A and B are shown apart, each in its own frame.
Chain A
Amino acid sequence: DTGVSQDPRHKITKRGQNVTFRCDPISEHNRLYWYRQTLGQGPEFLTYFQNEAQLEKSRLLSDRFSAERPKGSFSTLEIQRTEQGDSAMYLCASSMNQGVKGFFGQGTRLTVV
């Protein structure tokens, strides 16, 4: 186990509902990344944090998406007014400082029906 933990593992929600996912990084890692992976595609970068600061957001992250890392430890990713196109695997990864050797969590699979 790499130590990055994500919760829940699976989420089924109705279109229009809000959902929130949680990621707990490896404890000494100060960088935390969110990616989205749709079927048959590579993971796509969404956003990343260094400690509690959100340093970059992809244009994929519409205004319905918000991510936080309030104390520089765990992070949450919220999707408001979910759409069917939001159905995907949401992956979290963490790393140390300038290091880029990212370790992925097991992901949260979101299905919007």
Chain B
Amino acid sequence: GENVEQHPSTLSVQEGDSAVIKCTYSDSASNYFPWYKQELGKRPQLIIDIRSNVGEKKDQRIAVTLNKTAKHFSLHITETQPEDSAVYFCAASISNTGKLIFGQGTTLQVKP
């Protein structure tokens, strides 16, 4: 069935360092890959997304890469700041349904 695996489950970095979170999806029909940031007790917030016809997308300190052949996609955060500390979720979707299959989440801690 549809599945998204996310690693690592926890990640601790020093302020200013980079953070990388990786996901693997199972359904080759998936063509949309969003990343969400969720702070404690709040809703998931979309931070960046990528479609299957694009290999990389960047928005300021955040970038996402996609390897369709390997069914891998990754989130890269550069120059991390304490306010980046949160739980990050990757997801995969097939555009004709819009249904999102989420990874298990990565708790990112940025130490000042």
Contact = CB atoms under 8 A, between A and B. Distances in A.
B14 to A, nearest CB: 25
A99 interface: yes
Contacts of B34: 100-102
A45 B100 contact: yes
Nearest to B45: A104
B61 interface: no
A2 B46 CA distance: 11
A99 B104 contact: no
A100 B104 contact: no
A35 B100 CA distance: 9
Contacts of B91: 42
A48 B103 contact: no
Contacts of A33: 98-100
A43 B103 CA distance: 8
Contact of A100 (B32, B42, B43, B105): B32
Contacts of A91: 43-44
Contact of A56 (B6, B32, B93, B99): B99
Size class of the A contact interface (CB-based, 8 Å)? 20 to 34
B25 interface: no
Interface string B64-83: 00000000000000000000
B104 A41 contact: yes
A106 B42 contact: yes
Interface string A79-113: 00000000000010101001111111111000000
A101 B96 contact: no
Q: Which 10 A/B pairs are nearest by Cβ-Cβ distance?
A: A42-B102, A100-B98, A104-B43, A100-B32, A100-B93, A42-B89, A106-B43, A42-B105, A43-B102, A45-B99
18 contacts: A33-B98, A33-B99, A33-B100, A41-B104, A42-B102, A43-B44, A44-B102, A48-B98, A48-B99, A56-B97, A98-B95, A98-B96, A100-B95, A100-B98, A104-B45, A105-B43, A106-B42, A107-B43
